[in-house]
Structure 1
Amino acid sequence: MNRPPIPHPHESAGADASAGPSPLPSGPTLTLTSRTGPGHTVVTVEGPIDYHTSPQLLGHLQSKALQQTPLVVLDLSQVGFCDSSALGAFVEVFRRRSEAGLRLALVGLQADVRRVMELTRLVDVLPLHDTVADALAES
């Protein structure tokens, strides 16, 4: 008895096998908004920063446009969650900017995000401020 072939899990039932598997969903993304002022750029982040979204954040913060900005203020007031990959991204950007003589400031940490920063003692390493105005006043 001839049975029809079982389709590959990533193919629809009549898909051309030569086309290959369909791409998997890309996952969540962040909303990143930048505002540039004299000597600084404020990057507002909306959404969770985790394994799926931290590459997007890193790409934005390491863009050519921000590489020459003396101060980047990362507004995290719309971020309710971050995991270890987010912390790694913060440290990496801070390190690279410091080595280049540039600064990074994080502002607006929500309680859960601040708690993670406290538990990992990053509050002693990264420059944290309550508001964008506080970060800009220090510059």
Structure 2
Amino acid sequence: MSPLTITTRYVAIGPVLEITGDLDHYTAPELRTAVESLTLAAGQLLVLDLARLDFCDSSGISALISARNLATEQGAGIALAAVPANTARILGIVGLDRVFPIHDDVAAVTAAGSSDPSRRKKIV
């Protein structure tokens, strides 16, 4: 088990949360807290950098959905960057690869500038 670390930095399009370690039943509340502590402006983009994510279970997926819903409520977008293969597979199986904009890395998200507004539907 790898401890969860969340580091926040800001780029021109909005905050980037670098998520390292295991995102599971025990640590998912930490991601929710980190996202809830952000103030997102309308038109900004919240980027979740998963390059160093070691493990993600259903609670972690739920925390990602909560982050998306919170960003959407504040008029912001969300994008996932550098999604590990095992997590990408899960997102694909449950159809969330069609809900989250997914990019190869943070630089690709920054270059894109914003997420597709048609993907800003709230997931319950």
Report the TM range for the smaller structure's normalisation. Answer: 0.7 to 0.9
Q: Does 1:127 align with 2:101?
A: yes
| Cα offsets for 1:6-46 (capped at 9, x unmatched) | xxxxxxxxxxxxxxxxxxxxx97411111112231111111
Q: Deviations over 1:41-69 (max 9, x none)?
A: 11111101000000001100110xx2225
Which of residues 20, 26, 39 in structure 2 aligns to 1:67? 39
Superposition TM-score, scaled by structure 2 size? 0.82
Other-structure match for 1:113? 87
In structure 1, what is the Cα distance between the partners aligned to 2:87 and 2:102?
A: 12
Kept in 1, the 8 Å contact 2:13–2:110? The answer is no
1:103 aligns with 2:66: no
**Runs of 4+ off more than 3 Å:** none
Counterpart check, 1:78 vs 2:86? no
Q: Tell me the number of residue pairs that the alignment of Structure 1 and Structure 2 aligns.
A: 111
Q: Which gives a bigger RCO, structure 1 or 2 (Cα 8 Å, sep 6+)?
A: 2
Q: What is the one-letter code of the residue matched to 1:74?
A: L
Higher Rg of the two aligned structures: 1
Query: How well do the aligned residues superpose, as a CA RMSD in angstroms?
Result: 1.6
Q: Give the corresponding residue for 1:6.
A: none
Distance (whole Å) between structure 2 residues aligned to residue 33 and residue 94 of structure 1: 18
Q: Is the 8 A contact 2:19 2:48 kept in 1?
A: yes
Select the structure that is richer in strand: 2
Number of the residue aligned with 1:94: 68
In structure 1, the residue corresponding to 2:69 is in which secondary structure?
Answer: helix
**Contact 1:29 / 1:52 at 8 angstroms: preserved in 2?**
no
Q: Residue deviations 1:91-113, cap 9 Å, x none?
A: 11112211221111111111111
Q: Report the AA paired with residue 40 of structure 2.
A: Q
Map 1:7-46 → 2, pairs under 5 A: 29-46=3-20
Unaligned runs of 5+ in 2: 114-124
Match of 1:138 in 2: 112
